[in-house]
Amino acid sequence: MKLIHGRFFMSFLYVNESKCKKDGACAMACPMGLLQVEPGQSIPKAIPGAETLCLQCGHCLCACPHAALSLTTLKMEDCVPLKKELHVGLEQAAQLLKSRRSIRRYKSEPLERCDIEALLETARYAPTGKNTQPLSWLVVYDAALVHTLAAHVADWMKDMLRQQHPMAAWLQMDTLVKTWDAGADLLLRHAPHLIVAHAPKANPMAPQSATIALTTFEIAAAAAGLGACWAGFFQLAAGMWEPLQKALNLPEGHISHGALMLGRPAVKYYRIPTRKQPDVIWR
Ligand SMILES: Cc1cc2nc3c(=O)[nH]c(=O)nc-3n(C[C@H](O)[C@H](O)[C@H](O)COP(=O)(O)O)c2cc1C
Ligand code: SF4
């Protein structure tokens, strides 16, 4: 341990001794048990090998009330302080979460790119397995390209019907295809935009992480007065239909892990539709 410019340097951990109150908050928060503090006695020390075990989750920095530590890989300045005035209570959060609807009718006008960027900015904070943050995004901003992708989904359905694939009957693809051929898009709902979460195929954390990030995105969209809907048909086709995969042109080795239609809602809701009571076993 060396003292440099008033800070103790211990491999990947910097502690500002003048700020540190030796309360052990950082050690308590570390999910990996990488920091050791004798409360009231010593400043935090990293255990041997901590730098390789560290998840870069930032819990240690953000749980320190005195902003007394940084990691070589994670700076205090990059961790945004919480604003008390923006605190959301359960009642407000519950209304937002319950009133989120799957939006299937969109105004044709495009969103501002900055509005989509604000949603991505929120979604990047969604939890990811081992904090791997494995996701990348494809924003299909061009409505004509969204329509082209929907046409690939329709072609996939026609192929599934030809094969008499069991999924074709289960998903009523005959009706969907007839409707598509008649000019109505029940596949991507004439949405002006499509947001695709993609990641390397081999990453085992990616599917759940994508689902959570897309869910976060969808809720953020609802909070912003925008509308989104899970693109389930698209996602099934993206996993199976080569022409769609080619049209998506994702980076080498990446696959789609889920997608959302996005736009300005053309339907307004005044009530929250009821849902089943939770089916719970308590032990
Ligand atoms: C699919 C998934 C699995 C996870 N599994 C565990 C787990 O088994 N144990 C654990 O302590 N944290 C688990 N986490 C939490 C992540 O480690 C955590 O999201 C990540 O470190 C980022 O921290 P944050 O959620 O506080 O932003 C999991 C998260 C996800 C999304
Ligand atoms: S960043 Fe997370 S895992 Fe790494 S030392 Fe801090 S709390 Fe522990």
Distances (CA, A) of 67 to 30, 72, 131: 15, 15, 22
Residues 56 and 130 in one domain: no
- Taking the C-alpha atoms of residue 98 and residue 137, their distance in angstroms, rounded to an integer, is 26
**Residue 136 bridge partners (DSSP):** 198
Distances (CA, A) of 29 to 22, 35, 58, 164: 14, 9, 9, 54
Alpha-carbon 237 to chain mean position? 21
ipTM of the complex: 0.97
Whole-angstrom Cα Rg for the chain: 24
**Residue 86 pLDDT > 90, yes or no?**
yes
3 vs 114 pLDDT, higher one: 114
Q: How many CB atoms lie within 10 A of CB 53?
A: 13
- Share above pLDDT 70 across residues of the chain, in percent, rounded to a whole number: 96
Ligand 2 neighbours, Cβ below 6 Å, are: 29-32, 34-35, 54-60, 74
Residues in contact with 55: Cβ distance below 8 Å, sequence separation at least 6, in sequence order: 31, 32, 130, 131
Question: Domain total for the chain?
Answer: 2
Residues 120 and 46 in one domain: no
Residue 148 · residue 109 · CB < 8 Å: no
Three-class SS of residue 39?
coil
Domain containing 167 — which CATH number?
3.40.109.10
User: Which ligand 1 atom is nearest residue 208's CA?
Assistant: 1
Residues 13 and 105 in one domain: no
Q: For the residues 192-214, what does the mean pLDDT come to?
A: 96
Residue 161 · residue 174 · CB < 8 Å: yes
pLDDT score of 102? 98
Residues 72 and 117 in one domain: no
Residues 69 and 121 in one domain: no
User: Which ligand 2 atom is nearest residue 59's CA?
Assistant: 7
258 vs 204 pLDDT, higher one: 258
Domain carrying residue 206: 90-265
Report the residue among 26, 28, 30 best suited for mutation to probe ligand 2: largest number of ligand atoms under 8 A from its CB.
Answer: 30
**Residue 48 pLDDT > 80, yes or no?**
yes
Exposure string of 82-111, with b = 16+ CB inside 10 Å and e = fewer, is: eeeeeeeeeeeeeeeeeebbebbebeeeeb
Q: Is residue 84 part of a domain?
A: no
Residues 119 and 256 in one domain: yes
Q: Is residue 270 part of a domain?
A: no
Q: Is residue 238 part of a domain?
A: yes
pLDDT in tens, 143-178: 999 999 999 999 999 999 999 999 999 999 999 999
- Taking the C-alpha atoms of residue 41 and residue 24, their distance in angstroms, rounded to an integer, is 10
Residues 59 and 158 in one domain: no
Q: For the residues 171-195, what does the mean pLDDT come to?
A: 98
Average pLDDT score over the chain: 95
**Residue 1 pLDDT > 60, yes or no?**
no
Residues 165 and 54 in one domain: no
Q: Is 164 left (phi over 0), alpha (psi -120 to 50) or beta?
A: left
Q: Is residue 2 part of a domain?
A: no
pLDDT score of 240? 97
pLDDT score of 39? 87
Ligand 1 neighbours, Cβ below 6 Å, are: 31, 55, 57, 127-131, 205, 208-209, 212
pLDDT in tens, 6-23: 444 446 899 999 999 999
**Residue 196 bridge partners (DSSP):** 138, 259
Q: For residue 75, which ligand has an atom nearest its CA?
A: 2
**Residue 3 pLDDT > 80, yes or no?**
no
Q: Computed from CA positions of residues 131, 89, 121, 28, in that sequence, does the dihedral angle turn out positive or negative?
A: negative
pLDDT score of 11? 63
